[in-house]
Structure 1
Amino acid sequence: MNIVVNLNKSLNTTSQDAVTAVKRIFKVRKAGHAGTLDPLATGVLLICLNEGTKITGFLADLAKEYVMTGKLGESTDTYDAEGTVTGRAEEVAVTRASLEEALGKYTGDIEQVPPMYSAIKREGKALYELARQGIEVERKPRRVTISSIELLDFELPYFTVRVACSKGTYLRSLCHDIGSDLGVGAYVTGLVRTRIGGFTLENAATLDELPHKTAALHSLDAALAHLPEVRVEGEDLRKMKNGNPLRMSNGTPRSAGPVRLKDDSGKLFGIGRQQKDILKIERLLHL
């Protein structure tokens, strides 16, 4: 079974625990996820089975959407409700107007410093491992894109926003930075991932709904529908499956990014990438 499962991850479950549970439900040998969700976050987690594990990177690159609730007036070391309070404002004089003004600073391309409690590696060790030892290291800012931030609810000390953003955006850092800008601190109290590309929370399945909720189960071809396709036929097909690059004809559409590779019957057999007039296979899929 080579599919992508759109799972609605439950609260207090790690992404790896979710992968293990789905793997057990479908009785498959291989499974992996396309983008970690913190234990305190819920919502869309894409779990790829068998040959699907070869396409996780192409799904992880998709744009994301979240609904985040933050608490103003306090800061924590983890930037969420799981951490220890490190600061508390004497007064939280934040208005809806001042909050919306602060939110406006974070749309577009921004530089964001990842939290210490993250899986980013430093000399082979995850930052969260260092943080648990009381070690804080300098983190280089990362460029991320936030397409939009919409204020959904505001009732002091809490606010809720919908955020559309690129891969690599840390919502905990966003909340922390908003609180810092307002001079009162803030941390995440709730986070739901509502979308990854075309995969929505409405069509996601809980573990209890698997494997029967078919709307949550996607073929690899359907999961990669955001990629353009290139047909390869005859001798070229044989060569490409053997790993040989293919020189493209003048009439073949060009794509700067990855493409779905299909045989003459329209069956997906891999993912390739075009460089000038050369097409190379990056992932061979045995479907």
Structure 2
Amino acid sequence: MVNFRNAAAAYKSLNGLICVYKPPCVPIKQVQHTIKTNLCRDLNELPDRPREQRVEIVGATNEPMTVKLVPNYADDPLVCGPRYIHEDIRCSWATHLGLFSSGVLLLGINEGTKLTYLINTSRLTRAYKIQGQFGKATDTYFWNGKTVERAAYGHVTREKIDAVVAHMQAAHQKAMYELSGLHMESQATYEMASEGLIRPANSKLPVIYGIKCVHFESPNFTLEVQAVNEYDKYLWTLVHDLGMQLRTSAHCTGVQCIRQGKFDLDVALLRKHWQLEHIVDNMDRCRRILEEHQNLMKPESARLSM
């Protein structure tokens, strides 16, 4: 754990990327607000710079006067307020996580906001665990929506789920190559695939790179999905489509982001660790990850695109 001599040294170290675990039903803006509040609190508790002094001349004007230094009360935190406030700390996210989603969230602090912009434009793949439940469909495809359909699910087996998700993955991969104008068995396609994942040219077009069922205990199941340009409603729709293809109905009960690029759950700070010392340590850990994988944030123009 890092020990700081004073608040000024601690503040200067707050420039970089951090990885936190966003709880479900907590907006990203509230995560930002909590982190800023905790950082300001911890900074203000550290030893501060010496209080400014002012020159005071005392004595009668017709006699020799005395010049002395006295504390400047205008510089007292009790008068001017805390040294560090929210406006002193900049914080931005790399990619958005919806209100009901939880998991890995990358945030940039102060100069680290530049890194979040690079990550956003690099469009790193993210991995999710998506929980679903058979037997009911809602108007929002999520558990909090209005029930619009109920169906039997006793015929659904693990083998049938695996077959459907394999078909869904193949369909997404085929569409990905078709939109790129390449033939699946051509040399150009092989060379593009060997150099890395193909990113869609449109940043709003979701692409699924992998999908599989990792847990099934009827009526509940869990899918693991690797995607780019995804968003909450799109992931909920995958669960709904799976239910339709299995001749039943299904809705999503939870979404957890377990990895973004090389940042996984092991790196993410829990809410109880959103404190200055842990944040600075995590910032250093994220910096080492970025240095080990220098091509992680390669400019989009240098990437292969569709």
The interval holding the TM-score normalised by the smaller chain is 0.5 to 0.7
Match of 1:7 among 12, 17, 20: 20
The aligned residue for residue 42 of structure 1 is 102
The aligned residue for residue 88 of structure 1 is 150
Match of 2:260 among 191, 196, 213: 196
Q: Cα distance 1:220–1:85, how it changes in 2: closer, same or farther (>3 A)?
A: same
The letter for the 1-side match of 2:299 is P
The aligned residue for residue 283 of structure 2 is 217
1:227 CA drift (Å): 4.2
SS at match of 1:69: strand
Question: Which shifted more, 15-24 or 211-220?
Answer: 211-220
1:17 aligns with 2:23: no
The letter for the 2-side match of 1:193 is C
1:194 CA drift (Å): 0.8
Gaps of 5+ in 2: 1-13, 41-87, 177-203
SS at match of 1:37: coil
1:91 CA drift (Å): 4.7
Contact 1:103 1:178 in 2 (8 A): yes
Instruction: Give the distance between the partners of 2:302 and 2:249, measured in 1 at CA.
Output: 47
Higher helix share: 2
SS at match of 2:20: strand
Instruction: Give the distance between the partners of 1:4 and 1:148, measured in 2 at CA.
Output: 27
- What do residues 164-214 of structure 1 show as CA deviations (whole Å, max 9, x unaligned)? 222325321211221122221211112211111111111211121123335
Q: Cα distance 1:91–1:228, how it changes in 2: closer, same or farther (>3 A)?
A: closer
Instruction: Give the distance between the partners of 2:302 and 2:218, measured in 1 at CA.
Output: 52
| Matched length | 208
Contact 2:16 2:115 in 1 (8 A): no
- What do residues 83-121 of structure 1 show as CA deviations (whole Å, max 9, x unaligned)? 111221145421111111111122253679xxxxxxxxx
SS at match of 2:258: strand
Instruction: Give the distance between the partners of 2:238 and 2:152, measured in 1 at CA.
Output: 22
Q: Cα distance 1:106–1:222, how it changes in 2: closer, same or farther (>3 A)?
A: farther
The aligned residue for residue 190 of structure 2 is none
The letter for the 1-side match of 2:210 is S
The aligned residue for residue 76 of structure 2 is none
Instruction: Give the distance between the partners of 1:72 and 1:274, measured in 2 at CA.
Output: 43
1:63 CA drift (Å): 0.8
The aligned residue for residue 244 of structure 2 is 180
Aligned Cα RMSD in Å?
A: 3.1
> Highest CA radius of gyration, 1 or 2?
2
* TM-score in terms of structure 1 length: 0.63
1:162 CA drift (Å): 1.8
Contact 2:17 2:116 in 1 (8 A): no
SS at match of 1:194: strand
Higher strand share: 1
Instruction: Give the distance between the partners of 2:139 and 2:242, measured in 1 at CA.
Output: 15
Select the structure with the greater relative contact order (CA < 8 A; seq sep ≥ 6): 2
- What do residues 114-169 of structure 1 show as CA deviations (whole Å, max 9, x unaligned)? xxxxxxxxxxxxxxxxxxxxxxxxxxxx6433222232211111111222222325
The aligned residue for residue 149 of structure 1 is 211
Q: Cα distance 1:6–1:25, how it changes in 2: closer, same or farther (>3 A)?
A: same
Q: Cα distance 1:224–1:258, how it changes in 2: closer, same or farther (>3 A)?
A: farther
Instruction: Give the distance between the partners of 1:30 and 1:150, measured in 2 at CA.
Output: 38
Matches for 1:1-287 after TM superposition, within 5 Å: 1-27=14-40, 28-60=88-120, 61-107=123-169, 109=172, 143-168=205-230, 170-211=234-275, 212-213=277-278, 216-218=282-284, 222=288, 224-225=290-291, 226-228=293-295, 257-258=298-299
